[in-house]
Amino acid sequence: MTTGGGLDGIAVLRRLREDADQPPPVVILTAFADGANTIEAMKLGAFDHLSKPLGREDIRAIVERALARPRAAPRAGGVPDEDEANALLGASPAMRQVQKLIGLAAAGHETVLILGETGTGKEITAAAIHRHSPRARRPFVAVNCAAIPAELLESELFGHVRGAFTGAVQPRAGKFREAEGGTLFLDEIGDMTAPMQAKMLRVLQDRRVTPVGGAGAVQVDVRVLAATHRDLVSLVEEDRFREDLFYRLNVLRIELPPLRERGSDILLLAERFLDRAAAPAAPKRLSAAAAQSLLAQPWRGNVRELENLMRRVSRVVRGPVITPADLGEPAASPGSRPAAEDLFTLPWPEAIARLEQRLLRDALAACEGNRTEAARRLGIRRQLLYAKLKEHGIELSEHE
């Protein structure tokens, strides 16, 4: 969107926010939407950020909603970062929704819960929220809760005093105090032990941390963003995650779609990763058949898997064009994975049995053996899941 004065839509929106005490709801329509300008528009208070083409009835509906629900203006922030725009590349409806939610979250101070499978970009999302937020000039500190031994996590987060335990020869501030004034990203919070969950709940309530071995609590000013690939609702139902902590974390929620549900984003990302990995004098491109092969793959490792594949083929393929043979076979999950066309050649009972086995194994693998989540993913009751596992001789130990 460009105005007669040479300003684009984002600049016009920013000026409206600066000049008007109660600016009207603003809808931006653009022919070239990307993650960075969508985030920036939503952070600046746009009611929505839409891309062409758009029908007359769509325009009527969005105007009616905008007039019915005027929005107050959030605080303005900095300029979008080019690397972040690349990382959040995507024009699929699912990814556009994520970009808008990032922009809305960036404008506030609330705790945000980021959900998604491994490799979908949870830390990139957290970093984008921080970078577009009023805290952008302060630290962004990331902690992988699953990678730190349970007995050391408290010290890592809250710090310790000298002599608090064997080996504590120097005091340590801890990640909460390192992130003072900024953002603390707690990755894989679903792996936190029950005692640590209780302590985390207290910190989120009081905004005070007590170093291990210390006598007094220290006030902290930190925005907490948390992420997990686990189904926290199921963990709460199984008494493996505190319900009160879940509600403390789940103030704002962003659910990242798996790559297999992002359609043409797969090719956009693949081409961007190829451009990054290729030497300037030796650019590479996907053949039409290779592009179709990428679209057909299940992408269990999501964006991370796609990026690694593009790096590999960029390094090992000598010619300028990448073919399906260069891509190799996608990683197989446990058990046989018959192609869909193969099932049509089998007798009815055997085809149904093999399809059920594939669905069961895939669901358990995606949920890391969590039966409640697997049943929910398949849309069946847990009792039926157990019966089918027994019928097909599938051991849960394969996925745990």
- Judge whether 218 and 203 are in contact, CB under 8 Å: no
pTM, two decimal places: 0.65
pLDDT digits (tens, 9 = 90+) for 184-222: 999 999 999 999 999 999 999 999 998 887 778 889 999
Phi, psi of 219 (to 5 degrees): -70, 140
Mean of the pLDDT values across residues 313-327?
88
Determine the longest span between alpha carbons in the chain, in angstroms: 72
Burial group, residue 24, by CB count within 10 angstroms (0-12, 13-18, 19+): exposed
pLDDT digits (tens, 9 = 90+) for 101-139: 999 999 889 999 999 998 899 999 999 999 999 999 999
Share of the chain above pLDDT 90, in %: 34
pLDDT digits (tens, 9 = 90+) for 47-96: 677 766 667 776 776 676 666 554 433 333 333 454 455 567 888 888 98
pLDDT of residue 233: 93
DSSP 231: -
pLDDT digits (tens, 9 = 90+) for 250-293: 999 999 999 988 887 999 999 989 988 877 767 888 998 899 88
* CA–CA gap between residue 376 and residue 84 (Å, rounded): 34
End-to-end CA distance of the chain: 51
pLDDT of residue 19: 57
Cis peptide before 53 (omega within 30 of 0): yes
Q: What is the 3-state secondary structure (H, E, C) of 87-133?
A: HCCCCCHHHHHHHHHHHHHHCCCCCEEEECCCCCCHHHHHHHHHHCC
pLDDT band at 176 (very low <50, low <70, confident <90, very high): very high
* CA–CA gap between residue 230 and residue 370 (Å, rounded): 9
CA dihedral 18, 23, 29, 34 (to 10 degrees): 40
* CA–CA gap between residue 43 and residue 46 (Å, rounded): 7
Task: Judge whether residue 336 has pLDDT over 50.
Answer: no
What domains are defined for the chain?
9-101 (no CATH), 108-255 (3.40.50.300), 259-327 (1.10.8.60), 340-399 (1.10.10.60)
